[in-house]
Amino acid sequence: MIFKEPALNIKDKLVEFRRDFHSHPEPSFCEERTSAVIRKFLEDNGIEIQEVGAGYSVVGVIRGGKPGKTFAMRADIDALPMPELNDVPYKSQNEGVMHACGHDAHTAALMGVALLINEVKDQMSGNVKLLFQAAEEKIPGGAKELVEKGALENPYVDAVMGFHVANALPVGYVAFGAGPGAAACDTYKFRIIGKGGHGAYPHATIDPVVISAYFITALQSIVSRNVEPVQGAVITIGSIHGGTKENIIADDVEMLATIRSLDEDVRALLHKRIQEICKGTEAMYGCKVEWELEMGYPVLVNDGDFINKYAVPSCAKIVGEDHIVEVKKSGMGGEDFAYFLQQRPGCFGSLGSGNAEKGLVQGGHTSLFDLDEDCLWRGAACLAQTAWDYLEENK
């Protein structure tokens, strides 16, 4: 079974799906309409819905006509709280919300998988699960809840796969990389509490602004001097607030930081050193350092054996061997698909969606993001093909 031609035959339908979602974006944990549309689509096509009670996430199950294993695929369905500046017929109708990360495309492609697989389910050995996941963009995310609520059970999922669109990759290409594919991403809130006073008499104060400068420098030394150079790690102070006037020494300074890593041991080291620096700063400067840590998504680790045995050969049937790219190093973005890969073998690949000739080169999380919709049928076909081939080989 080859899904290329069947996917081309539903190309226009997938574009219609995607544009509907793009016009009606909903942010994380608020995907009420999106969820309802997906549910109606599954019901209209006679596809079983597995009720797991995970918010607005929707789980579809297509049972094959012959016994076998179960292959799951995931699409995130949430949008971002940002305005859209594109002048297109399918522009966001919800002010201040936009599908700026391509989740509308992911959802449309997975609906395409549903149509493709459902058409031939009687010939299929095993089952396919469709994980339409809410709230990828906002910690704690929706993937962890799906796992906890049993979405990978009944029937038991044996392997899982997903794609993320990428405008840095031309449409027609797909990319995979074994090992770390996305970073663990954690958030700190720091508050340095000093003793305010008049700017002309600093000796009578404990200046949190000056202390914060040393504190930030100390934090930056963790990556440069405590983390092995070949390991990936980032400490970024993205927000700092303190003071109201040039001649007033503030009482406190607040900072927000993102901490990213590609290895769980490095992740633990970063937190250990950060908290040691907090305590050391208190001792050195006589201030108080408060900190709050929000643990984010874990490191996403792709299964190299799964990629080589299933994802690459199957996708080559759709896009051609010369359109498959090997990713040799991970980016530092976060992705809660990591929770699925902690539980089951599989991979999370990149689906080419860029087109320089059409001006579709903007990166995600920007107000001008848009993509080449020819990626939709390719994504659907690649996922369906990998699922089919996996189930056939493991029946």
Catalytic-labelled residue, pool 173, 297, 339, 390: 297
DSSP labels, 243-282: -SSTTEE-SEEEEEEEEEESSHHHHHHHHHHHHHHHHHHH
State CA 354 to chain mean position distance: 18
Is residue 297 flagged as an active site residue? yes
SS3 383: helix
Identify the three-state secondary structure at position 291.
strand
Alpha carbons 155 and 265: distance in angstroms, whole number: 34
Judge whether 5 counts as a catalytic residue.
Answer: no
Residue 363, token pair as written in the block: 């990166």
Separation CA 254–CA 190 (nearest Å): 6
Amino acid identity for residue 49 in this structure: I
Angle at the Cα of 255 from the Cα atoms of 250 and 259, rounded to 5 degrees = 160
b vs e for 48-76, b when ≥16 Cβ sit within 10 Å of the residue's Cβ?
A: eebebebbbbbbbbbbbeeebbbbbbbbb
Cα–Cα dist 71/61, whole Å = 10
* DSSP reduced 3-state for 350: strand
What CA–CA distance (Å, rounded) separates 71 from 121? 13
Residue of 136, 145, 335, 373 with catalytic role = 373
Residues 324 and 208: their CA atoms lie apart, in Å, by 52
Q: How big is the CA angle at 130 (ends 76 and 127), to the nearest 5 degrees?
A: 160
Looking only at the bridges linking them, the beta strands covering 48-50 and 58-63 are antiparallel
Contacts of 268 (CB under 8 A, 6+ apart): none
DSSP-H helix ranges across 78-134: 103-119
Query: Which are the catalytic amino acids?
Result: 297, 373
